[in-house]
C-alpha cells in the first residue's frame, strides 16, 4: 500500500495533516508535528498582531468530542512567516499556513506579505472562526466571501485555499460553490471548521464548561463526522478540478478512509490530536494502511471520491 499524494505542487508521504489550531501555535508545537508521522503540517490561524485569545477555560472535551472558544490566540503573522522562512522546504514535509484576519484590510495586508515572501507554502484562508464575540463567520455571508476572495486574489497571485464553516442546506452548498467557482485562485477548500456555537452542559454542576460567550463554542470530534462528510462530498462534486481537504471527526483509519471516499484529497485531524497528541497520527496512518490492505486497495486514488449511492 502506498499512501503518497501529490496535489497543488506538493508531495505528501501520507494524507494526514493537523487541523489548524491544534498543536500549531508555537515553534515548539510545530516542530513536534514536523517530527510526527503527519504528511504535512499547518500553522495556527494568524492575525496581523498577536492575540491572547478568550479567557480560560476555553476548551473542554466530552465523551463524543470537544467544544472550544479559543478566540484566535496566536503569535501574529510575522512569527509564522518567520518560521516559514527558516523552514527546510526542500527536505521537510510540506507546510501550510492558516490566515484569519479580523477585517478585509487585515487579510489583504497579510496575504500581500505572504505573496511578497514567495515561499513554497499553501495558504488556507479561514472564513469560519466561530468564536469572536460580535463577529459573524464570513463564510455564512456569501457576498462578503465573494468580495474578500476577489480582493485577496489581486494581492496574492498563487493558488490558495479556504477553510469553510459547515453548511446544512443544499441551497447553501450551491451558493458557496458558486462563489468558489467564480474565483480561479481557489486551489482547495477545507471542510469543515467546528460546528459553531454549540452548548455543552455539565449535568452534575448544572453549568456550562467553557467561560467565553456564556458557554457557547465550536464543536468538534465524533459529533461532527456526518456533517463533515456531507460537506466534503458536496464540495468535491460541485467543484471538479479543485481539491477538498476533509476535516471533522477523524480519529482512526476508518474516518480517514470515509473522508477520502467522499472525495477528500487529504485530511486533517483536530480533536483527536488535541486529546492524544502527535502519536495518534502514526496510529491513524497505520490503521488506514491495514484497512486498505483488507479492502484490496493499493493507492488513495483507487477509492477517492468513489462513494456509492443507492
Q: What does the block give as the cell for 8?
A: 497543488
Smaller CB separation from ligand RRO, 43 or 100: 100
Q: What is the CA radius of gyration of the chain?
A: 18
Binders of ligand RRO in range 169-198 (CB under 6 A): 193-194
Smallest distance, ligand RRO to C-beta of residue 218, A: 3
Interface pattern 16-55 for ligand RRO (x via CB under 6 A): -----x-----------------------x----------
Interface pattern 64-103 for ligand RRO (x via CB under 6 A): ----xxxxx---------------------------x---
Task: Please give the Cα distance from 33 to 14 (Å, whole number).
Answer: 14
Smallest distance, ligand RRO to C-beta of residue 4, A: 29
**Residue choice 131, 231, 265, 271 for contact with ligand RRO (CB under 6 A):** 131
Closest CA to 124 of 20, 18, 269, 241: 20
**Residue choice 18, 36, 128, 265 for contact with ligand RRO (CB under 6 A):** 128
**Total site size for ligand RRO, rule CB under 6 A:** 16
Smaller CB separation from ligand RRO, 36 or 271: 271
Smaller CB separation from ligand RRO, 15 or 196: 196
Smaller CB separation from ligand RRO, 15 or 198: 198
* Region of 126-134, 153-161, 167-175, 282-290 interacting with ligand RRO (CB under 6 A): 126-134
Q: Are 188 and 245 in contact (CB under 8 A)?
A: yes
* Region of 87-95, 123-131, 242-250, 260-268 interacting with ligand RRO (CB under 6 A): 123-131
Count other C-beta atoms under 10 Å from residue 253's C-beta. 18
Count other C-beta atoms under 10 Å from residue 119's C-beta. 17
Smaller CB separation from ligand RRO, 13 or 29: 29
Smallest distance, ligand RRO to C-beta of residue 128, A: 6
Annotation marks residue 191 as catalytic: no
Phi, psi of 111 (to 5 degrees): -65, -35
Smallest distance, ligand RRO to C-beta of residue 21, A: 5
Task: Please give the Cα distance from 183 to 178 (Å, whole number).
Answer: 9
Active-site pick, 129, 191, 247, 272? 129
Smaller CB separation from ligand RRO, 126 or 145: 126
CA 128, 142, 105, 30 torsion-angle sign: positive
Interface pattern 211-240 for ligand RRO (x via CB under 6 A): -------x----------------------
Known catalytic residues are 129
In the complex, which residues of this chain contact ligand RRO (CB under 6 A)?
A: 21, 45, 68-72, 100, 126, 128-131, 193-194, 218
Amino acid at each position: 500500500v502506498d499512501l503518497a499524494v501529490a496535489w497543488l505542487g506538493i508531495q505528501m508521504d501520507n494524507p494526514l495533516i493537523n487541523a489548524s489550531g491544534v498543536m500549531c501555535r508555537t515553534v515548539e508545537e510545530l516542530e513536534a508535528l514536523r517530527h510526527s508521522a503527519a504528511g504535512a503540517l499547518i500553522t495556527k490561524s494568524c492575525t496581523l498582531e498577536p492575540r491572547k485569545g478568550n479567557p480560560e477555560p476555553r476548551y473542554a472535551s466530552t465523551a463524543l468530542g470537544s467544544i472550544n472558544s479559543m478566540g484566535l490566540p496566536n503569535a501574529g503573522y510575522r512569527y509564522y512567516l518567520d518560521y516559514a522562512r527558516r523552514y527546510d522546504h526542500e527536505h521537510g514535509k510540506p507546510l501550510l499556513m492558516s490566515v484569519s484576519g479580523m477585517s478585509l484590510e487585515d487579510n489583504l495586508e497579510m496575504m500581500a506579505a505572504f505573496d511578497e515572501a514567495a515561499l513554497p507554502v499553501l495558504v488556507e484562508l479561514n472564513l469560519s472562526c466561530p468564536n469572536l464575540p460580535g463577529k459573524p463567520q464570513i463564510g455564512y455571508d456569501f457576498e462578503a466571501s465573494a468580495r474578500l476572495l476577489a480582493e485577496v486574489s489581486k494581492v496574492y497571485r498563487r493558488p490558495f485555499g479556504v477553510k469553510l464553516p459547515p453548511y446544512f442546506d443544499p441551497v447553501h452548498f450551491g451558493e458557496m460553490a458558486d462563489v468558489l467557482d467564480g474565483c480561479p485562485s481557489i486551489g482547495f477548500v477545507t471542510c469543515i471548521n467546528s460546528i459553531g456555537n454549540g452548548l455543552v452542559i455539565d449535568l452534575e454542576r448544572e453549568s456550562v464548561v467553557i467561560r467565553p460567550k456564556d458557554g457557547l463554542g465550536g464543536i468538534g470530534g465524533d459529533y461532527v463526522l456526518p456533517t463533515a462528510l456531507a460537506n466534503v462530498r458536496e464540495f468535491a462534486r460541485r467543484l471538479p478540478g479543485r481539491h477538498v481537504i476533509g476535516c471533522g471527526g477523524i480519529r482512526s483509519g476508518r474516518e480517514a478512509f470515509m473522508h477520502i471516499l467522499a472525495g477528500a484529497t487529504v485530511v486533517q485531524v483536530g480533536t483527536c490530536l488535541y486529546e492524544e497528541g502527535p502519536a495518534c497520527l502514526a496510529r491513524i496512518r497505520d490503521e488506514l494502511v491495514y484497512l486498505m490492505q483488507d479492502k484490496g486497495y493499493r493507492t488513495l486514488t483507487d477509492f477517492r471520491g468513489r462513494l456509492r449511492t443507492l
